[in-house]
A and B are shown apart, each in its own frame.
Chain A
Amino acid sequence: MGRPNDLVQGTLGLLILKTLSLEPKHGWAIAKRIEQISNDVLQVQQGSLYPALQRLEQQGWIRSKWGETETGRQARFYSLTAAGKAQLGKEREMWTRLSAAIDLVVES
């Protein structure tokens, strides 16, 4: 039901890490950002972000802190850790290789 499709599930972690590499964000902002950047192509079930965030935090790739939004509300902000940065690099590289390979197959 609320689960993203297989491709996205595999890459949701990468998308989140990438999104957080610029600045700390709260959950909604992460979802928005992914949608915006991808021109609304990647429309995830927004809620499925939270299990993913929780998994990444447990891996030690992101950390969270409660803080205030511009509108003065309390929200949980997620930011990338050093380990997360390294992980992002790894996953990016993998993604590049994978997508290149898929391109090769599909375009040939």
Chain B
Amino acid sequence: MRWMNRLQKTLSTIVRRGSETARLDEEMRFHVEQEIAERVARGASPEEARREAVRRFGNRALLRDEVRRGWGWGWLETLGRDLRFSIRALMRSPGFTITAVAVMALCIGATACLFTVVRSVLLEPLPFHDPGNLVMVYEHWRANTSGNPYNPVSPGDFYEWREQTHGFADMASYYNSSLTVTGDHGEMPEMVAAQKGTWNLFPLLGVTPALGRTFREDEDQVGDHHVAILTWSFFQRRFGGDPSIVGKTFRMAARPYTVVGVLPEWFAYPDARTQVWVPYADGVTAERLHEHDNHYPYVVARMKPGVSLKTATDEVSALQYRMHMRYAGSPVAEDVMSRPMIDDVVKDVKTPLLMMMAAVACMLLIGCLNVSNLLVARGAARQKEMAIRGALGAGRFALLREQMTETVILCGCGGAIGLLLALAGTAWLKLHWRGLPRASSIHVDLTIVLFTFGVVGLTAVLAGVLPALSSTQRGVLEGLKDSSRGAGVGVSRVRLRKTLLSVEIALTVVLLLSAGLLLKSFVQLKTTDLGISGDHLLTLRYNLPKEIYTRPEQSVAFSQSLLERVRRIPGIESAGLGSTVPGAGWDGDEVFIVPERPKYESNKQPDAMTRHADPAYFTTLGVPLIAGRFFDEHDRLDQSNKVVVSEELVKRYYPGENVIGRTVVMGIDITNKKRTYEIVGVVGDTLWRVGQRTKATIYFPVLSGDTGYRATLVVRTSGDPLSYAIPIQKEIAALDPQLPVVDVLTIPEIVGESTVNQSLSASLVLIFAGLSLLLAGVGLYGVLSYVVTQRVPEIGIRIALGARRGQVLGLVLRDGLRPVVLGLLVGIGGGVAVGYVIRSLLYQTKPLDPMVFAMMATLLLAVAALASAAPAWRASSVDPMQALRTE
């Protein structure tokens, strides 16, 4: 309780500190007067009594100070005085103050911003019930030695896992799909991203809907009754947020769906694009629902209390192996692997985010070192002041405290501005980082503010302690002597600054190298040859719903008339139809059999990506013909058992053979006549996505009339391709007004779409590196200017003794470049290490890319030379007479 008492006392004295001082004075005056009175009463003369009383009392001012210190607000007073002093000192040199605050604001802002993102995305638990016990379960092929051992699960496997193993509390599954939403009253048709989830997914996650309910078990069955759950954004956008939609129906995939519930606003799993959820079994056949060789769904599981993840996974894995043996010959994986759900959600952004966080931390450190350097220079300029104040009795601690106050003010102002920058930066990142998981949960809150405070404290210590120590460490006498004599000034301080500079440059080099590697990788991605030629290409996607286009003839007729109509548009040079264009992503793959070699090792069955193309597709895109022919108008409907294969497929499965006229059988049944195809042509390779390896590809004729396919119309135009978007969409609407058109994109846009995040991380790191380079340049300039100023007399003597200007220039340059070269060497070492750490982010770029290293080293040296040039020039133009006279 005593501290309470003391606190109360302290507070009350702070509040009444003016009157308290007056009372103390009154008390002391009373004391002295009493003493005088007593002495007079004893017979002393008033004069003598007063003198004696005052002497006996002691130094009143000193005692008063002692009492006041005890009042508990002494430190506050000192702080106030320090603040006043520091602010006055900082105001005197606005250039320095603004520079330092700006540097700190940028660095602290960037750090706080990245930390905000890292915390919300990587560190905070998922917004589900007991998220620590949620895991994702995947199939794993033993032959899969790629970086990602986690393969999607087949629905048949999932159902067996769920029924036959008991290591997990429950398992649920989902897969993505897209559905066409149309209106009953001629509303705009649109294609929406959908997820198909098992009925128990939401209960397993512990998610309760904002409105209505989630799926019932009986709704997750193959059948004619269709239900859907809307996500909050779709509910708001398409249905105006009207709660009465629950229980009503809307048209999707040409069927009526009953809305059973609406998900809460925060729910953005598995991604924020998802608009609608339907049951797992919706719109598929029972056969499809239980197949084991088609892998696309994801499986979420909740761990059972007391059962370790390994035990549970091993049980599923054992079952999987039994299934692998049972379905020998078809692609069923041998093993099962699992990982925590949070790791699964952030898998693609963890490394880039941590890398950026590290880059920002480097920049922060560089900023600290730079401010530290500026402070050392300032300390040197104020050396005389310090010495005089020391001589007048200021303790070292007091001087140190004052200097630290200055640094804290600088960092504090920087931190405050930085926090604002962080707010803006976070908002910007949220907007521009495409597909950043959990982006909606990113927010700046008290933790971030506290973190910023922490960073401010840390930077203040980092930037302030060294200069403060160095400027107060010297003896008073030495300091006074030193400042009046010019030669050999502040050798230790110069050494300190150069060391700081070397560290700064080393860090800058590391950042520059990382940025260079990422940039080169990004440029590689951007300029990747997709395998197509020519520009002025426009692509438009649409899905022909199989519920409406039920007969193959209908599909073919639609495609045929669409192509005819589009080709009639003036300015369209050619038009073709395919399933998915190069660069636009994976579009399914399938195993096949080479009839001449029907035997293969388990899981080594030939596998190819499957695509569709019409006769004009390859020529429109400029995919070269290697052998044989493209499709022609006769390869349609029942004449369509022809395929065109890619060069990679020939290389891989028919090395050195002529494949034209040979047959392949798709699937696993060699006797399946319906799925036996003749190879009529070989075309050049195309990339399915920028940055991914070429994959063997089989093209089927679009005009085979497969019902319900996903199609991309490709046109080559004579002018700006985007100006043809509207005329083409009009033609589509004329054919089928209910058909939504999506992804109207040019090829560069498709490439840009898939490289937008690489572009983001490369540019951010480049910005950090650029700022660091600027800081390093300014730092170097500062140090050299300082050194030159200190050495003016010495240089004057040298010139007077006959040194040539060139020699002096060289002298100063050498002096300035030594820490640069040292920093460069250390930095290159660091850069090599960092290059290896981030190599998973690099595309066709080696961590030791000589061009990047050479360019970045040259860049740094150029900046360093530029920064040293001015001081060196100043040194070489010293007038010896002038220099010696000022001595």
Contact = CB atoms under 8 A, between A and B. Distances in A.
Contacts of B9: 57-58
B322 interface: no
A89 interface: no
A73 B33 CA distance: 11
A55 B70 contact: yes
A55 B6 CA distance: 10
13 contacts: A1-B58, A1-B62, A27-B31, A47-B28, A47-B57, A48-B63, A51-B66, A54-B70, A55-B70, A74-B26, A75-B30, A76-B23, A76-B27
Contacts, number: 68
Contacts of A51: 63, 66-67, 70
Which size class do A's interface residues fall under? 20 to 34
B268 to A, nearest CB: 58
Interface in B142-191: none
Interface in A1-40: 1-2, 26-28, 31-32
Contact of A2 (B58, B71, B72): B58
Interface residues of B, number: 26
A59 interface: yes
Contacts of A50: 24, 27-28, 63, 67
B93 interface: no
A1 B57 CA distance: 11
B447 interface: no
Contacts of A60: 2, 5-6
Contact of A59 (B2, B38, B59): B2
A14 to B, nearest CB: 18
Nearest to B62: A2
| Majority DSSP secondary structure for residues of B touching A | helix
Contacts of B27: 26-27, 50, 75-76
Contacts of A27: 27-28, 30-31
A45 B67 contact: no
A47 B58 contact: yes
A99 interface: no
Given A28-B35, A50-B27, 7 more contacts: A26-B31, A27-B30, A54-B70, A58-B9, A60-B6, A74-B26, A74-B30
Contacts of B35: 28, 46
A66 B27 CA distance: 10
Contacts of B70: 51, 54-55, 58
A76 to B, nearest CB: 5
Contacts of A48: 58, 63
Contact of A47 (B30, B59, B71, B72): B59
A2 B67 CA distance: 13
Interface in B65-101: 66-67, 70-72
B67 to A, nearest CB: 5
B2 A26 contact: no
Interface in A59-78: 59-60, 66, 73-76
A47 B2 contact: no
B60 interface: yes
B55 to A, nearest CB: 9
Contacts of B42: none
B5, B23, B56, B58: residue with the most chain A Cβ atoms closer than 10 Å = B58
Contacts of B57: 2, 45-47
Contacts of B30: 26-28, 73-75
Interface string B270-290: 000000000000000000000
A47 B5 contact: no
Interface in B19-68: 23-24, 26-28, 30-31, 34-35, 38, 56-60, 62-63, 66-67
B2 A2 contact: no
Contacts of B66: 51
Given A54-B67, A54-B71, A75-B27, A47 B60 contact: yes
B378 to A, nearest CB: 38
A46 B58 contact: yes
A26 B32 CA distance: 12
A5 B60 CA distance: 18
Nearest to B69: A51
Interface in B207-233: none
Contacts of B28: 27, 47, 50
A31 B58 CA distance: 13
A47 B59 CA distance: 8
B5 A46 contact: no
Contact of A46 (B2, B56, B62, B67): B56
B56 A45 contact: yes
Contacts of B62: 1-2
A107 to B, nearest CB: 34
Contacts of A1: 58-59, 62
A58 B73 CA distance: 13
A31 B31 CA distance: 9
